[in-house]
Amino acid sequence: MHKLFLITMALFTMGATIKLTPKSTETFACESCEDPAVIKRTIHSKEDAYMNDNSAKYRTDLKKWGTRSGVMHVAFPETKKKNCDPSTDAVFYATDEGVMEISDCSSSKRPLSRKRNLIKDQKQKEGFKKYQKHLHDEFDVMQITVKNHTTDIRNVCLWGGNSEKPITDPLFIENAEKIDVLVGTHPQQVVLNPANDLLYVANQLSDSVSVVARDGTVIATIPLTENAMPGTVSPVALAVNTNPGYFYGIVYVIGSVNNTMYHIGLNHKVVNANRTGKRPTEIRFDDETNELVIKNIVSKNTTRINAETQAQTETPWGIQDQFRLVDNDSTSKIAKVTTQLNLLTIFNVSKSPTVTINDEYHEEREDFKFSPGMLKHLKIVASGERRVNAMQLLQKSIAGKEICKTLSLGNYQSPQSFQNVSEVFGVDGVMLDGQNSWCFKIGGLQTITFILYYKKLEMYNLLPEKASLAYGVQMSKGVPKRVPKNPFKSIL
């Protein structure tokens, strides 16, 4: 001890200074210190070791399943273990974006996957279910389905029965269709029979008459002779009896070789025949005289046959008005024949609706005009990828002024994670009556279904006590609490 004291005194005497160095420590960065609200889980040491040994595979896993600061750390071997505890893993891998959907424990080959758009809070999910049950229990439900039959985006307006607005404009469009039908050999003429709306074609070189429907179906082929040698009849022209009565719809066809006029009944059979002049080439039905008028080019005369009595007269050419032409151009707009190709071409022009809506809508629209209702909730289900992003609510005042309010539906995506379903909570209090209309856009070939939860308003509830007694109501129930002064106030 005495020696130690002497050595210390000697060092001080020599001016030396002794510094005591503390034990070396490592400084660790605090990732959560900059933002106390962000709490990050410390990276497991096993992950660091895994990353060092398997850096390439680790980076691949991170690109597939997340990032180091993101949803989960996939490097842990225990995350892929076969015997897992979903409840524990769900808590362990929970993030601000939602709870991870852990892979099925029974299969080690199925990868872990993220379930998108999950409800963050389980209480919110339970609350939504209770709300849906409340809607079904307490409110009337109505379903309206709108379908666009065109490939264009169309503007659609619903309700507003007093304004008589069409669902869309135009409501119908014309569709032109051309159908080619193979008939007999060398067809010469076609006529439309108004009695059965069928087309009759005279086939010159096959000695027959083809009966064809407007959709191109060949109904019958009527032979005009039993002779196997074609061309012995040579039908070239037809006419139809258009006068009401027993003979209405009889078709007459003339054979230019055998000089005969055939009567074809509605049963598609030859029912009678008359002789004509030599080489008949044209035939008309005169509805004023009820006669068949036939032009004969070799005998140079006109044959007139009464359709009812079969009385027949022949008049030489040169007498004025001996062959009065009857307008038969109406058939040419419907069909024509192509002789060289043995074809009948049918032109169909039909009208088809651009937008249709289920029949219940029209009944409800008329009902709401006289018995208004109040909307509580609206669910919109749209087919395809296009969604209803906005809907205009049009309110027409008594003075005729129209007020337009636009309801954006972008924030009403269903919590059930369906991209084409919208739960619209912002329509609470909107009136369903004859004054208010909904307008929106529907995509091409899209179907949109509206599910409405509403309550009908009892009109005597809106009357004061004295007025209700004056109208014979024993007791007024008072004004409903949910009736706002402005129907659009709750959605602004």
Q: Are residues 234 and 294 in the same domain?
A: yes
Q: Are residues 226 and 283 in the same domain?
A: yes
Q: Could you say which of 306, 322, 350 is where a domain stops?
A: 350
Rg of the chain over CA atoms, in angstroms?
Answer: 44
State mean pLDDT over 463-486: 45
* Residue 181 predicted with pLDDT over 70: yes
* Residue 488 predicted with pLDDT over 80: no
Q: How many CB atoms lie within 10 A of CB 16?
A: 8
Both tokens assigned to 50:
């895994």
Q: How many CB atoms lie within 10 A of CB 196?
A: 15
pTM: 0.51
pLDDT band at 2 (very low <50, low <70, confident <90, very high): very low
Q: Is residue 6 part of a domain?
A: no
Average pLDDT, the chain: 75
Q: Are residues 334 and 361 in the same domain?
A: no
Q: What angle do CA 179, 185, 189 make, to 5 degrees?
A: 65
In the numeric block, the tokens 């009889």 are attached to: 250
Q: Are residues 164 and 275 in the same domain?
A: no
Distances (CA, A) of 54 to 49, 61, 113, 196, 384: 8, 11, 22, 83, 44
Q: Are residues 336 and 466 in the same domain?
A: no
Both tokens assigned to 116:
């998108």
Q: Are residues 448 and 343 in the same domain?
A: no
pLDDT in tens, 66-89: 544 443 444 444 444 444 454 554
Q: Are residues 189 and 280 in the same domain?
A: yes
Q: How many domains does the chain have?
A: 3
Both tokens assigned to 318:
């040169």
* Residue 471 predicted with pLDDT over 80: no
What is the rounded distance in angstroms from the CA atom of residue 369 to the CA atom of residue 379?
Answer: 22
Q: Is residue 62 part of a domain?
A: yes
Q: Are residues 487 and 359 in the same domain?
A: yes
User: What range defines the domain where residue 368 resides?
Assistant: 132-171+354-491
Q: What is the CATH number of the domain that holds 303?
A: 2.130.10.10
Q: Is residue 11 part of a domain?
A: no
**Residues, the chain, total?**
492
Q: Are residues 343 and 358 in the same domain?
A: no
Q: Could you say which of 322, 350, 378 is where a domain stops?
A: 350
